[in-house]
Chains A and B, each alone.
Chain A
């Protein structure tokens, strides 16, 4: 279908209002590409899912409010007005929900103004220093440098099993330290 003609669409709606179900279906199919284009232009950042949802809301609104179109008036401006209202309504809803998120982020930032990663590194370092020297060495080797138990054991002159146990205990103590 080429450019949508107001008169053709209006005729379909008139036939539908008189009870023609096929005409009504054709009416919806005729305006669907126009709605899709319009929404894509109005909301370049939306996901396809969200656009699909809004299109469905628009179709439902057109159905529910079709008595507000006067058959002696052009129908495309009417459709456009309904669609525009639905899109704006959706944008308002989106904005409201993202404002809530932005606000809670801001509150979080006020409560914890420091850089979280640096903070965590600092705390970890403090924690590791509280461990006994051998456990500390094992945790540094296995937890931070990423060596495996065998390599760590041979470097420190302990058994592989002892390295695993020390690592396990070290992590447990660290966890307790960090959660305080």
Chain B
């Protein structure tokens, strides 16, 4: 009996599969980790002198404020299913990327519209706002724990496109980071958040892609 036959015999001695539902587990874990991260982040922001915006309830009624949370939420809701799909080795994403791609383009689209209707000498100030480094850094920092969580979840799958899967995990994590950050962010011009929110989400995706390359091997 050769080695391969022997291996087949060994493997077939443990045939039973205790199937776990992948998708609810993925969403559940992500939510479970997001909530404490959000709570902790709001506490840290508060301690650092950037509490949740006092006018949140009133401001969120304005569409141009609401999109700061609704669009990242949409990005997250379209990215996570793709990550879950990629846990199956034969998956090709193809046209399924479109909803996510459109979601990522909404904020930059609003930014372009806001800049076009503004006087040219005000544009740079609108983009810079009062603290784009804080915005970018916070979204990226908030994403890291969530990206790590998703990579751990993805490792249970059989990912054959590690960089894509890692990028998607980073993008959805960055999007959750943006939703959290919007609670304290008082910059309500699309010229500001259209750029910096998007950059934060995309750079979280870049980090995820790089991490996926190494961490998602099996």
Chain A interfacial positions (CB closer than 8 Å to B): 16-25, 27-29, 32, 52, 55-56, 59-61, 63, 65-70, 73, 77-78, 80-82, 84-85, 89
Contact = CB atoms under 8 A, between A and B. Distances in A.
A111 to B, nearest CB: 34
Interface in B149-197: 157-158, 160
A25 B9 contact: yes
B76 interface: no
Contact of B7 (A56, A66, A81, A82): A56
Given A68-B87, A70-B88, A85-B160, A59 B17 contact: no
Contacts of A17: 15-17, 19
B89 A81 contact: yes
A23 to B, nearest CB: 7
A23 B15 contact: yes
B120 interface: no
A24 to B, nearest CB: 4
B4 A69 contact: no
Contact of A24 (B12, B157, B217): B12
Interface string B80-99: 00000001111000000000
Contacts of B19: 17, 67
Closest 10 pairs (CB-CB, A-B): A81-B89, A17-B17, A24-B15, A81-B90, A24-B12, A65-B158, A25-B12, A16-B15, A19-B16, A28-B8
